[in-house]
Structures are given as structure tokens and as C-alpha cells.
Chain A
């Protein structure tokens, strides 16, 4: 069943000008991107940005208004979901509540006509892989969140898909478990060797799991690239503010807006003189957050609002100077929010 799709091994998933409109609303606007086999792409954005829409279009659960979806060299835009060889892990995991773990995993294969011996073999394999052997007779209601996620992953693996889709699979887990599972999930997804599209609104998850991240906003692709590219050279203000925690500081200058990463800012005694290549603002420390590995100092600057500075503990209150290197500042158009390339990098 799987061999036929491996004819063009180079091609993974390719979306071309993919759009979805419902009545007057554009949910997804001409999205074009590629995911290579074995690559994990995260779709990142706030709710309503079109990331789940994209996933549903790829899965075939919703119809594309225009554009093309190509998987393994074949156009699948108009194929029904069952014929797409795509597996999906849902946000709620969508396990069948009336069936045991074992039946949850085997039902789909049975109905697809997989021979019994193969079902038994694959089932054992995947149960062992995901450490679910002891839970095979349990109902979903008797499982913890993490166990449910593993069952959902197991079900998707048994589909032997040519493409993996995951819709916020971590959002039902508590924060600690989420971080623990990130590495495991990454290894597991990688081992399948197929393209993976991973939807999330959590930047840490996207950065920690994915090879590349596509940031979406209001149905439009903002930027696609590695986490470092997105963080260091965002194409616009939205991407710059969406990535990074604490989020980027934005200050107004007469010509443009400057984006200053909190960890690139330095605190200096108030009124001290500035070296060449540095800029500064005078302000007053309003409060500090002590987070163990770092301290976030909030500095109130007249006319600019509050700036966040990440650094070592310094003075706790009073007037202070915030300074930064010119090359660390990202500059944006005031109206459009697009990033303006600094003159220095352009000449190099």
C-alpha cells in the first residue's frame, strides 16, 4: 500500500497558493510552502491565524477554495481524506471512548482490510515502541493525558502515513510533561522519515520541536525559516513580537520603530555617557521579576512606555540608563510593520 507513493522520494509535501474562503471570509490566503521528507515544520501563530485551517486542508477534512496540495509527487488536492495516506493527531486526541486501547488502534486497520497477522504484528510493535503494553485493555477514560497522547500517536503510526499532521498535541498536557515529551516526540516523528506538519501556538514548542517554523497571521504566511532565522531576522514586527519571551521591546523614533530584544539591552548608571555605536534611553526601574536563571527588569522610559531588560541583578530601583548596540536593533516601518534592512548590512 505504501510503496506506490514513494516513486519520487525527493518530493515531500508541497502547498501551492493554497487558499480557503468561507463566504466573504478568507481563512487562508495563497499559502505556498514545502516540507521535505523527514522534516518537521511547525505552523505557528495566534488562534484564528489559519494554522488549523491549513492542517484540515492538507488532511482533506475541508475543501480548498483554490491552490494545490502535492504529496510525494502526486496532487492530492481533491482526493478524499481516506485516500491521502495522511495521519492526523487531534488536539483532543479523538480516541474512541467506547473502545479499549487495543481496539482503538486495530479498528482502522481491520476496516481497511489489513490481514489479521499483520495487524497483530504491527500492533505489538507500536505498543512496545510507545510503552503502551500494560494499557491495552484500558478505555481512554482510564488513561492519563500523556497516555492518551501516546495512544493517539500510536494510531497515527499504524496508519503508515506518507505525511504526519499534528494539531496542538501538547495543549492538553501540563507544562512539565510538555517539556519532557518534546524530545521524545521529536525523535519519534523523525524516525518515520515522512514530512511532519505540527500546528501549535506555543513558540517554545515550535522552536524546540521543529526544523523550520512557518509563522501565520490572519491567513497569510509571514515568514518561514529556522527558529534562529525567525528570531534574529524577522521579516516584520509581527514575527519579531510573536517570538521571544519576554517579547521584544518596541520604541518609537522619529523615522521608524525600533525592535530591541530584552536580552540585548544593557543597564548602565543613569546619566553615564554613551560609547560610539551605542544608543541609550534614560528611565526609572519600576519593578523586577526574579526567575532564577535570569532577572527581568522593567524600566519605565518617558515617552516610550515600559522596556523589559533581561540580565543580571543590578540595582533594584531608581533612575537607570538602558543602552544597546546599533546593530542589535531591528527597525520596522511605522505603518506596515515590515522590517527595514539596516544600511550597514546592506553594504556588506
Chain B
């Protein structure tokens, strides 16, 4: 019973969005007497409208995917060495540094937008999708470091020492022993970062102005605000469905890895 409630709670809104996206506009705005299963039938018109728009909607998806992937890669590339160093430092040093990292994670990011806008202008970073990875990585880095640090700590020291005794250098140890054992933590960190980038709105809004470079969030806001007199429920719902589908897919893909990583366990007998 509780499971059913949970399912309805989490899937209900999505199903509703899906339903909305497949109904003609008249049915949604009440012009046809509305209600579930009311007249009007089903339509792909909203999707067609989005996919044949100017620019077509899949451009936004691609942009967001590009920004998300590059930000995730950049964040992890920076976070892994940081977390490793933090986990191997002396207790006192690592505690105070971790505190600093936590403070950075807790800093209200809203306060940074103006300064970031200045940066974008001065360094000509506006309208550059890859450049958007810089603030994104900066914002995600503290959390990623803390997450990975905890998982580095969970790897027994003896395991790395065994690798040292086998003659492996630092990079070899990371590549062949430590990182493979951290796959679950890296997967969850990557997922969190990717979702953040996928959803991020204010920085994307201020850094990007060319319509063919927009990421998903500002693009959807444009759809919503495209007309003063009517709210394009259908198109908006279709955009939501298209925008969340890749995330759900990613989640499903990563989920298996996370679970298998958790059950692998057993370093000591």
C-alpha cells in the first residue's frame, strides 16, 4: 500500500505531464468541456511544434547534454585528485580543509551571479557552451569533493599499500585499484552534477543569449513566455517530457552500476 502511494506520488506528476503533452490545446484550456478522457482525442501536435520550431527543440537537448557532460568531466577531473589528497592528508589538516570545502558548498550561489556576469563579459565567455562548464564545475566541486573523499576513506589503506608493494605508481594505483573501487561513488557524484547542470537556470540565462545556444532551462522559459495572452500548456508539457526523458534514462543506466557497486563489497573476509 505504502509502495503504491510512493509510486503514485513520484510517477503521478510525470504521467500527468505526459497526458497533458498528448492532448490538443483546446482540451487543455477547457474549450472542449475538458476533463479526463474528454473529447478531442490524442495529438502529437505539441511535439511536432517543438521539434520543427526555430531552432528545433533537440538543439537545446544537445546543448544541455554537452554542457552537462563537459561540466561533469571537468568537475570529476578536479574533484578526484582533491578528494584523494584530502583523504590521505593528516587528520587535522584534512579536517580543516574539509571544513573550508563544506563552507564553499554552503555559500549561497545567488550572490555570485553578478560577479559571474562580469567575468563572462570581461573574458568573453558569453555564448560559449563549454565556458559554461567553468561556473558549473566551480559550483559543483565542493559537494563532489566531499562525496568522493568519503568514499576514498572507505577504501582500506592496506589495499593501496598492497598496490605500492606491487610497484605501482600513484597514477597506476588510481587507475587500476582506487578508481574502479570508487565507481559507485563516482557514478552518483556524476549523476548529481549532471542533474544540476541540466536544471541550472540563472547562469545559463545570463551567459547565453543566442537562441541556438540555449540550454534546456532558459529555452523552456522562452516557450512558457512566448505569448502574453495564452499559456502554451501543451507545448510546455511536451518540453518537460522531452527534457526529463534523458535524465530518467541516465538514472536507470547509472542505478544498476550503483547497486552492483554497493553489493560488491567484501574487501576483508
Contact = CB atoms under 8 A, between A and B. Distances in A.
Interface in B158-172: 158-159, 161-169, 172
A61 interface: yes
Interface string B226-269: 00000000000000000000000000000000000000111111
A141 B260 CA distance: 14
Interface residues of A, number: 29
B172 A159 contact: no
B177 to A, nearest CB: 6
Contacts of B44: none
Contacts, number: 80
A227 to B, nearest CB: 29
Interface size class of B (residues with CB under 8 A): 20 to 34
B176 interface: yes
A82 B161 contact: no
The dominant DSSP class at the B interface is: helix
A246 interface: no
Nearest to A172: B269
Contacts of A59: 161, 165
B190 to A, nearest CB: 18
A82 B164 contact: yes
Interface in A171-209: 172
Nearest to A94: B162
B37 interface: no
B73 interface: no
A82 B168 contact: yes
B166 A97 contact: no
A107 interface: yes
A218 B265 CA distance: 36
Interface in A65-109: 81-82, 86-88, 90-98, 107-108
Contact of B169 (A82, A86, A87, A91): A82
A82 B167 contact: yes
8 contacts: A61-B161, A61-B164, A88-B161, A88-B162, A95-B162, A108-B168, A141-B266, A159-B166
Given A82-B167, A111-B168, A159-B167, 19 more contacts: A61-B161, A81-B164, A81-B167, A88-B161, A91-B158, A94-B156, A94-B158, A96-B159, A96-B162, A96-B177, A97-B181, A97-B266, A98-B181, A107-B166, A107-B176, A108-B166, A108-B167, A111-B167, A145-B269
Interface of A: 59, 61, 81-82, 86-88, 90-98, 107-108, 111-112, 140-141, 143-145, 148, 155, 159, 172
